[in-house]
Structure 1
Amino acid sequence: MDDYPLLDLFLTMLFFFLWVMWLFLLFRVVMDIFRDGDLSGWGKAGWLIFCIVLPYIGVLVYVIARGRGMGQRDVKQARDAEAAFKDYIRKTAAEDETTTGSGTASGGTGDLARLAELHDSGKLTDEEFAQAKTKLLT
């Protein structure tokens, strides 16, 4: 244990942690380069070569020059994914209703029962359930 003092162990762990953080940032930058629809093919190739040839400087310059856009693209991707998920739920609920019918009970009672089934199965959110229920009751 005397061969490797505590300070050397701490520095080794610090450098390892910084290296892992830099690798994470490098992969983030490379993914962002390919995800950016505003960059041309030559622009993507240029940034990629810059990040490969001069990795530390390239990543640092990319984050300084295009860091704000990285955040905006992340937010846009999250919103698009959420919208696609909600659209999928609506389509699935609509398909489910057309294949099984809207219920044979008297008028709105069958529709309310069907809405409750869709809500309980998770195909409708609380907001969608409340809106549909309001429509049926008015």
Structure 2
Amino acid sequence: METNLLAVDYPVLNIFWTMLELFLWILWFFLLFKIITDIFRSHDLSGWGKAGWLVLVIILPLIGILAYLIARGQSMGKRDLEQAQQTEAAVKAYIREAAGPTAADGGSGSHVDDLARLADLREKGAISDEEYQKAKDKLLV
């Protein structure tokens, strides 16, 4: 009867190795999907270049992923940054559009801007709390 001394003497070590293997599998799939999306997102690669990298990453995953990270890892970070900046600009444009025209845009200003100015005046002591409440009630009606 043969027993595994490592499993008997160190059951916590087996749990640790199992968790490490699971973590590495999750990391591997994350990296694989990140690289595949970067291949399709890249505008400087031709269609054949994208197909070649994709075949290399799928057929020979270890070599393909390491080669891709070495060859194109730095530009991969730049593309991530560009996409984040484009997303942020789109969100800001949507917020500006949803908030409505401001005084700087030629509009009369939004209620949010007016309330912010009122709050600034109250904090500076230019108007009292009563005046602030009255003006705020007029704005919200």
For the aligned pair, the TM-score class normalised by the smaller chain equals: 0.5 to 0.7
Aligned partners of 2:28 and 2:110: how far apart in 1? 55
- Could you say which residue in structure 2 is the equivalent of 1:24? 30
1:15 equivalent to 2:21? Answer yes
Aligned residue identity for 2:66: L
- Could you say which residue in structure 2 is the equivalent of 1:74? 80
Q: CA RMSD in A?
A: 2.9
Q: Deviations over 1:69-95 (max 9, x none)?
A: 111111101111111122223333446
| Structure-1-length-normalised TM-score | 0.65
Larger Rg belongs to = 2
Q: Deviations over 1:23-61 (max 9, x none)?
A: 110011001111111111111111000001001111111
* Closer/same/farther in 2, CA of residues 115 and 43 from structure 1, 3 Å limit: same
- Could you say which residue in structure 1 is the equivalent of 2:129? none
**What's the secondary structure of 1:2's corresponding residue?**
helix
Match runs of 1:1-138 below 5 Å: 2=8, 5-94=11-100, 102=108, 111=109, 115-116=113-114
TM-aligned CA deviation for residue 20 of structure 1: 1.2
Give the gaps of 5 or more residues in structure 2.
1-6, 117-141
Could you tell me the percent identity over the aligned residues?
54
TM-aligned CA deviation for residue 6 of structure 1: 3.2
TM-aligned CA deviation for residue 13 of structure 1: 1.9
Contact in 1 for aligned 2:100/2:110 (Cα 8 Å) = no
Aligned partners of 2:110 and 2:16: how far apart in 1? 64
TM-aligned CA deviation for residue 114 of structure 1: 6.7
Aligned partners of 2:84 and 2:61: how far apart in 1? 28
Count of aligned pairs: 108
Moved over 6 A (4+): none
| Structure-2-length-normalised TM-score | 0.63
* Closer/same/farther in 2, CA of residues 11 and 95 from structure 1, 3 Å limit: same
